[in-house]
Structure 1
């Protein structure tokens, strides 16, 4: 950040501790910043609205309102909604951190004698905001819009509306980014603003390249939050099919994937088209522009991610457990935890259908934590009723593993459930090892030191050379290598190499997705330790899994496998 920017920046500090607030302000002033100070939330809101500071540093614990409420007020105000916001707290707690980020804070700083931490955070957020605003310039008043889009107020649009509605066949289009709130909660305010900026650039490019001769774009503007506004006029009476064609083309263009901070995002877009003749008054315009995509206005096309979030709130998610079977004893030795989305009256939605949406739209962290907490509680229940000792395997996403205080939060959930880490297999995706070997090694070491068994999920040949460096207990063979194993020589070579190397390193192997007795026969010849898949059992509800464990004859599992494998006992490795 340039010195000129630092001198020009005004920072609002809101803290009931007057001595500490004075220390912060003195530090900031010494480093060239202008400062404002408030000791209550209400005073802080008034100062923010009056002076429009470039950044706000706010304590969570205020005497009148909480820092969370103050943040919500800032984010809802049209003139200061984009102001960078640093949450200040004396509580170094993961839950507090997550809530702060989900509410839209840009950073979270724990109070300490080291005031340089606050200063570094301030400088980082101002630099991010400066880079963002460099891409957002003032809206042009000219009908031929030639600049990148920035935020405008509703008042700025009223005069333009009054002018354009006099033109024949004029219309108002409102473009909504349905993902905005989820992006803000999942990735923070800066990320969501970068998404808005990218969408604005796409709109600008569409306007510049539009070949619809009957349409003239008079105004293209960003109204704040998740809304863009377009005023258009037509040279002829526009028929409905023409509008449908144009809006469909625009929506398709806007929903092309965008990459933001190394995250691939497919935005969920809704476009509302209204004839200006239908908006007889300014108040009708205000009502239209102030409503959200979830109101009763007819904008009800929720994205998959939005519906998933609602499903999490309405307890539509359910854990299933797929048995893992030892190939020597035939006994069930564990279960992989799998999540299912159970919509009443419909078939369950599998993870492959909604996990990508959760990752792209900032829901993977709350979803992952729910899976962890629910699975641990189920394990505790099974142990309480003295079910046969089994382990549970829980998949972790890259986003969880890279999240702030993951290890501390994991241990808090384990301690709350009162279960032993020894009975828990934590599965890391192979892609994390390929992307960041050192971080994967660190996490695997830390997890093992805490007593967990660690596994690499969907293991292929890509990271085979790294095995000797990684503290790992289990390899789960990717089902793409298991499928048709008996007839695919290449897969046999790969699986043999993985199993033999794992055996030499004292690592267990689990074959995932075993569906046929022929596949089972080959895996037994290769001395794979255990399997899971439809050959033995699909994923079961907790109740059905309990019934399976309590079957009168524990030998049924072994007999079942032996019987099915004997059907193709003559199958040999090519």
Structure 2
């Protein structure tokens, strides 16, 4: 960092003030002596006419030397005083600057290098690695669930925990490693390769770091446990400059967290391409919602005994000009992570109600329609009031709507979710657990919460013929659900063998390509299953 004030500044100020004094004195002197030649001629004339002689010293009597010398003396004294003042000011400034430099390079909380300093050293080491043809690894370590500790015990305890973690990292990484604090709950480490050291060494080192960081901490009488996830990117394969290496390591730690946390992940080229696509999907999805470029499709749900349509599931379809056809399995998780799921969920409800109103005007009997709700939607305090407002606007009966929720919301906010579901059940909404068996399945919420049905995920149905364990689990889920008074819906039925086995198990409702693919809203009046449903009602 450059110094703002030079060490020579006091002497510069002193000299400058003295120079101003001398220049002032010279100007005054010149002003005083400007007419001296004329004065001398006049004096000679007077002397020649009066014959009086004057002493030589009186010839320059017109010059006031005190007036000439005084400014120089004053400016010299002023220069000395200002020079002393600026010297003291500059000394204090240098001390503050040195302290600021130290804080800028060393994080005061953890005692590790700052992010800026690590980036600087990383850039320098990359030059050395290029010259010596060596590899170099960049680690980003992110603590798991650190926010929970901060919220439960306060930021002071959180800061002390970060300092303890920094000490452990210092002890577990090799001495030649450069350790720094990345900010928040993350750390940044640069490790240069040793002679004949393989990159596979990074795996065992990452495992050791996770194990050491995950040990118990004792802080202010509290016993705390925390894990960490690690992302690694190495030079030269996945970055040739500091910013790229750090960015790629940060992407890798994100993948480690998606993989369940308390693990490590090495960056690869595919990860970068996938991240770029995700960013593109997020951008295009926002635009698609604004321009209403998404489309609602509906897939029939069929009673396995009567083979009649007993319901529909609302499904999103997206055909983008640049991305082509994008699957909900790809864009819905991105919408949930980015927060787009909230306006997207509202759009789905409103479009569904519009279609119901249109179908009713056409004289069609519309079976109950199931709509998936994300955890983010259900957590909103205004979710139910907004939903009721839409129902009233489009004159849709709550009994014609089925709300599907995933098991994850029941784990994240069991108390709040239970209260909301009970209110909705009292208002006439039908409630279903979606993708049952793939998440945190718990028998307690099947017993205590007002669900009407459960949907067995298609991963079980897909291999139900070939995999006996899937068949056994499906049979057990159906049997248990019936004993609890719940209907069972099997999704993903693709062939007759699967249908026959599910009928043997007593499954109530089926959904899948074997019965019908999802169709657009405009095809509702011509779909065979819907036509059969309306004909049976007329009869």
1:309 aligns with 2:308: no
Higher radius of gyration, 1 or 2: 2
Task: From the two aligned structures, give the one with the greater helix fraction.
Answer: 2
Match of 1:532 among 511, 515, 538: 511
Is the Cα contact below 8 Å between 1:148 and 1:201 reproduced in 2? no
Counterpart mapping for 1:149-168 below 5 A:
none
Q: Secondary structure at the match of 2:105?
A: coil
CA distance in 1, matches of 2:283, 2:190: 31
Match of 1:387 in 2: 364
Q: Shift of residue 464 of structure 1?
A: 3.2
Counterpart mapping for 1:320-335 below 5 A:
320-335=297-312
Query: Given the superposition, is the C-alpha separation of residues 310 and 142 from structure 1 closer, same or farther in structure 2, using an over 3 Å criterion?
Result: farther
Query: Given the superposition, is the C-alpha separation of residues 369 and 438 from structure 1 closer, same or farther in structure 2, using an over 3 Å criterion?
Result: same
Match of 1:448 among 425, 434, 440: 425
Counterpart mapping for 1:488-527 below 5 A:
488-527=467-506
RMSD in angstroms over aligned alpha carbons? 4.1
Match of 2:105 in 1: 145
Q: Secondary structure at the match of 1:496?
A: helix
1:412 aligns with 2:389: yes
Counterpart mapping for 1:41-56 below 5 A:
none
1:356 aligns with 2:318: no
1:479 aligns with 2:476: no
Match of 2:79 in 1: none
Counterpart mapping for 1:243-258 below 5 A:
244=240, 246-255=242-251, 256-257=253-254
Counterpart mapping for 1:217-366 below 5 A:
244=240, 246-255=242-251, 256-257=253-254, 302-344=279-321, 347-366=324-343
Q: Shift of residue 505 of structure 1?
A: 3.0
Q: Secondary structure at the match of 1:519?
A: helix
The CA deviation string for residues 112-135 of structure 1, in whole angstroms up to 9 with x for no partner, is: xxxxxxxxxxxxxxxxxxxxxxxx
Query: Given the superposition, is the C-alpha separation of residues 521 and 140 from structure 1 closer, same or farther in structure 2, using an over 3 Å criterion?
Result: farther
The CA deviation string for residues 115-163 of structure 1, in whole angstroms up to 9 with x for no partner, is: xxxxxxxxxxxxxxxxxxxxxxx995469732389xxxxxxxxxxxxxx
CA distance in 2, matches of 1:409, 1:452: 15
CA distance in 1, matches of 2:245, 2:423: 50
1:201 aligns with 2:183: yes
Is the Cα contact below 8 Å between 2:298 and 2:520 reproduced in 1? yes
The CA deviation string for residues 448-486 of structure 1, in whole angstroms up to 9 with x for no partner, is: 111111111111282234322121111111112212212
Q: Secondary structure at the match of 1:372?
A: helix
**TM-score, normalization: structure 2?**
0.51
Is the Cα contact below 8 Å between 1:379 and 1:392 reproduced in 2? no
Q: Which runs of 5+ in 2 are unaligned?
A: 1-97, 110-179, 194-235, 262-275
Deviates more, 1:451-460 or 1:495-504: 495-504
Match of 1:402 in 2: 379
CA distance in 2, matches of 1:408, 1:555: 33
CA distance in 2, matches of 1:321, 1:204: 45
Match of 1:14 in 2: none
User: How many residues are matched?
Assistant: 314
CA distance in 2, matches of 1:431, 1:300: 26
Q: Shift of residue 504 of structure 1?
A: 2.7
Match of 1:57 in 2: none
Q: Secondary structure at the match of 2:527?
A: helix
The CA deviation string for residues 154-174 of structure 1, in whole angstroms up to 9 with x for no partner, is: xxxxxxxxxxxxxxxxxxxxx
Query: Given the superposition, is the C-alpha separation of residues 259 and 417 from structure 1 closer, same or farther in structure 2, using an over 3 Å criterion?
Result: farther
CA distance in 2, matches of 1:350, 1:242: 29
The CA deviation string for residues 359-415 of structure 1, in whole angstroms up to 9 with x for no partner, is: 111211111111111112112221221212311100001111111221111111111
Q: Shift of residue 305 of structure 1?
A: 2.1
CA distance in 1, matches of 2:336, 2:533: 40
Query: Given the superposition, is the C-alpha separation of residues 487 and 243 from structure 1 closer, same or farther in structure 2, using an over 3 Å criterion?
Result: closer
Is the Cα contact below 8 Å between 1:486 and 1:519 reproduced in 2? yes
Is the Cα contact below 8 Å between 2:107 and 2:181 reproduced in 1? no
